[in-house]
Amino acid sequence: MSNESQAANDQVLVKRVQAGDKYAFDLLVKQYQHKIIGLIGRYVYDPHEAMDVAQEAFIKAYRALPGFRGDSAFYTWLYRIAINTAKNHLVSRSRRPPDVDIDVDDAHYIGTDSELRDLDTPEHALYRDELERVVKTTLDRLPEDLRVALTLREFEGMSYEDIANVMDCPVGTVRSRIFRAREAIDKEIAPLLAN
């Protein structure tokens, strides 16, 4: 289903929920639960805890849905709620957002992932592990605004406009944050790629 038809389908379901149809909300939960749990899992490491936070995010969304005006896509609105719920959960437990798990195969802009997957020698496994470690360490050290912008773009596949809605900032700021995050990671992995 294309993004446009998905957004139209979501809009129909949202209107049904607003009219009192609880089953329509179940359909929205089924549609987005894996994405939301994955997103929250980038903040809350424990899988059971992440599922609890996701459930809390869906409850918040359900309660807030009567006021949803459709200024942004439903999933963009839901992502914002999920991120805020995850952050609030960590703050309530006196923890800062944890590091983001990164699989280097997902880092599209590196461009060598297919080669890494095809070469199954111990040397290449070490190389891949080192590359993953460097990407993860660099991502962990990024300021939160850069890390979140890059994560939403590269791992969640969101558009710049949707990220701007989630992060509540202009699209130009999103582009700048993603560029700076990629630049920082590229700088760290350049010596490895040169070898």
Angle among Cα 71, 171, 18 to the nearest 5 degrees reads 15
Please name the CATH architecture into which domain 104-194 falls: Orthogonal Bundle (1.10)
pTM: 0.55
**Tens of pLDDT along the chain (195 residues)?**
666 788 888 999 999 999 999 899 999 999 999 888 888 888 887 888 888 999 999 999 999 999 998 888 898 899 889 988 988 888 777 655 444 433 333 333 333 333 334 445 676 667 677 877 888 888 888 898 998 898 888 877 788 888 888 888 999 999 999 889 888 888 888 777 766
- In CATH terms, 3-92 corresponds, of 1.10.1740.10, 1.10.760.10, 3.20.20.150, 3.40.50.2300, to 1.10.1740.10
Confirm if 83 and 148 have CB atoms less than 8 A apart. yes
Residue 129: half-sphere exposure toward Cβ, Cα within 13 Å: 7
Residue 22: exposure state from Cβ atoms within 10 A (0-12, 13-18, ≥19): exposed
One-letter amino acid at 1 equals: M
